[in-house]
Structure 1
Amino acid sequence: MNQEPRVDFQELQWRQASASDVPAWAVLIARTAAAERPVWHEREADLQQHAESRKNPLATHAVLGLDGDGVIRAYARLSKNPDAEKAHGFGCVDPAWQRRGVGAALLGWLEQRTRQRFAEDTAGTGVPVAPRLRIGTEQQHGHQARLLESAGYTVVRYFNEMHRPLDQPLPANVLGNGLVLAAVAPDLHEQVRLAHNETFRDHWGSEPRDEESWSFTVNHPLARPDLGAVVLDAVSGAVAGYQLASHDPDLAARRGVREGYTELLGVRREYRGRGIAQALLADAMHRFSGAGMDVASLDVDSENPTGALALYTRMGYRAVNTSMAWDKEL
Structure 2
Amino acid sequence: MPDPVLRPFRPGDAPAIAELHARHAAADQVDVHSTMERLPDPDGVRRLIAAADWAVVAVDRSGSPAGWGSLRSWTEVDGTRVHLTGGYVAPPARRQGLGGRLLREAEAVAARLAAGHTDGPVVLGGNASTVQPDRMALLERSGYRQVFTMVEMEHDGSPVRPRQLPAGVTVRAATIADVPALFELTARAWAGRPFYALPTVDELRDWFRRSEPGMFEVATIGVRLVGLVAVSRTPARTEIESVQIDPDLQRRGLATAMLTGTLNTLIGAGAGPIRLHTEGLDPVGARTLYERLGFRVVREYRRYRKPLDR
TM over 0.5: yes
TM-score band, normalised by the shorter chain?
0.7 to 0.9
State the percentage of identical aligned residues: 22
Q: 2-side partners of 1:206 and 1:287: how far apart?
A: 31
By how many angstroms is 1:104 displaced? Answer: 0.6
- In the alignment, which residue of structure 2 is the partner of 1:114? 110
Question: In structure 2, what is the equivalent of residue 206 of structure 1?
Answer: 196
Aligned to 2:22: 30
1:50 corresponds to 2:58 = no
Question: Mean Cα displacement is larger for which, 282-291 or 298-307?
Answer: 282-291
Paired AA for residue 81 in structure 1: W
Distance in 1, matches of 2:24 and 2:259, equals 34
The answer to whether residue 88 in structure 2 is matched with residue 92 in structure 1 is yes
Runs of 4+ in structure 1 off by over 6 angstroms are: none
Q: 1:41 aligns with which of 38, 55, 58?
A: 38
Please tell me whether the aligned partners of residues 29 and 131 of structure 2 are also in contact (alpha carbons under 8 angstroms). no
- Identify unmatched segments of 5+ residues in structure 2: 32-36
Structure 2 Cα separation of the partners of residues 151 and 26 of structure 1: 28
Q: Is contact 1:227-1:284 (8 Å) kept?
A: no
Q: C-alpha displacement at 1:176, in angstroms?
A: 2.6
Match of 1:311 in 2: 289
Amino acid at match of 2:258: L
User: 1:102, CA displacement in angstroms?
Assistant: 0.8
* 1:289 and 2:280 matched: no
Q: Is the 8 A contact 2:49 2:55 kept in 1?
A: no
Distance 1:78 1:216, change over 3 A: farther
- Cα distance in 1 for residues equivalent to 2:263 and 2:162: 10
Say which structure is richer in strand. 2
Report the equivalent of 1:244: 230
- TM-score of the pair, normalised by structure 1: 0.80
Task: For 1:76-225, list aligned pairs within 5 A.
Answer: 76-82=69-75, 84-119=80-115, 122=117, 127=118, 129-166=120-157, 168-172=158-162, 174-211=164-201, 213-214=203-204, 217-220=207-210, 223-225=211-213
1:325 partnered with 2:310: no
Q: Distance in 2 between matches of 1:194 and 1:20?
A: 40
Residue ranges of structure 1 left out of the alignment (5+ in a row): 1-9, 253-258
* CA deviations over 1:216-251 (Å, ceiling 9, x no partner): 64455xx45443322122x22x321112223342xx
Q: Which residue does 1:256 correspond to in 2?
A: none
Structure 1 217/117 Cα, relative in aligned 2: closer, same or farther at 3 Å? farther
2:34 counterpart residue number: none
Structure 2 distance, partners of 1:174, 1:298, is 23
**Residues 108-130 of structure 1: CA distance to partner in whole angstroms, max 9, x if unpaired?**
1121122222226x2xxxx2644
* RMSD, aligned α-carbons: 2.7
Whether the aligned pair in 2 keeps the contact of 1:38 and 1:138 (CA below 8 Å) is no
SS of alignment partner, residue 140 of structure 1: coil
Tell me by how many angstroms 1:20 deviates. 3.7
Q: Structure 2-normalised TM-score?
A: 0.84
The verdict on how the C-alpha distance between 1:51 and 1:76 changes in structure 2, with shifts beyond 3 A counting, is: closer
